[in-house]
Amino acid sequence: MNTKSICVYCGARAGQNPAYAREADALGRGIADAGWRLVYGAGDVGLMGLTARAAQDAGGDTFGVIPTHLLDLEVGKTDLTRFIVTETMHERKKVMVMNADAIVVLPGGAGSLDEFFEALTWRQLGLHDKPIFLLSVEDYWAPLTALMSHVVADGFADQSLLDFVETTTSASDTILALRRALS
């Protein structure tokens, strides 16, 4: 059986709402419990570190990718199953997407948005056909999904843009959605 890999984009900070950390932990454990590999940004801070530690604690395979310039800032987590250092952010994003079967976006900031939009754009352009999930803990991503609807309504993208993204509200719902998408 081919092990599936789940790319998780999320904040290098934990955010103000404790629910974000709870869901990051639950997602990391859920990925490991499903026998999947976690692919993520290789940091040991914020939601990134929480997700990775939870996956590791549950016995999961972890694949981290970090650019040289973020090794100190994001505290590169070198005890992962696989730890890759890239030269640039662009290379990091490419390696992460190309080594994943699906993408999940937990709450995060500009970096998470950048990663999400690049993966979405690549999907829109036909460069991959991997499912993309916004894990909208306590409606965190509601403004983003409203913006995407606005983009479509104003004619800057086809309806298919919205069809490329599924919104979930909890780690458990996300794991179920991933099971359906990857079966």
| pLDDT reported for residue 75 | 81
Q: Is the model's pLDDT at 38 over the cut of 60?
A: yes
Question: Looking at residues 98-102, what average pLDDT do you find?
Answer: 97
Write down the pTM of the prediction: 0.96
What is the rounded end-to-end Cα distance, in angstroms, of the chain? 12
Q: What is the 3 state secondary structure string of the chain?
A: CCCCEEEEECCCCCCCCHHHHHHHHHHHHHHHHCCCEEEECCECCHHHHHHHHHHHHCCCEEEEEEEHHHCCCCCECCCCCEEEEECCHHHHHHHHHHCCCEEEECCCCHHHHHHHHHHHHHHHCCCCCCCEEEECHHHCCHHHHHHHHHHHHCCCCCCHHHHCEEEECCHHHHHHHHHHHHC
Query: Which residue, 29, 26, 24, is CA-closest to 8?
Result: 24
Whether 15 contacts 23, CB under 8 Å: no
| pLDDT reported for residue 168 | 98
Residues 53-84 have pLDDT tens digits of: 999 999 999 999 999 998 887 788 889 999 99
| pLDDT reported for residue 49 | 96
Q: Is the model's pLDDT at 99 over the cut of 80?
A: yes
Ordered domains of the chain (ranges, CATH):
5-182 (3.40.50.450)
In whole angstroms, what is the distance from residue 132 CA to residue 130 CA?
Answer: 6
**Which of the four pLDDT bands, split at 50, 70 and 90, describes residue 105?**
very high
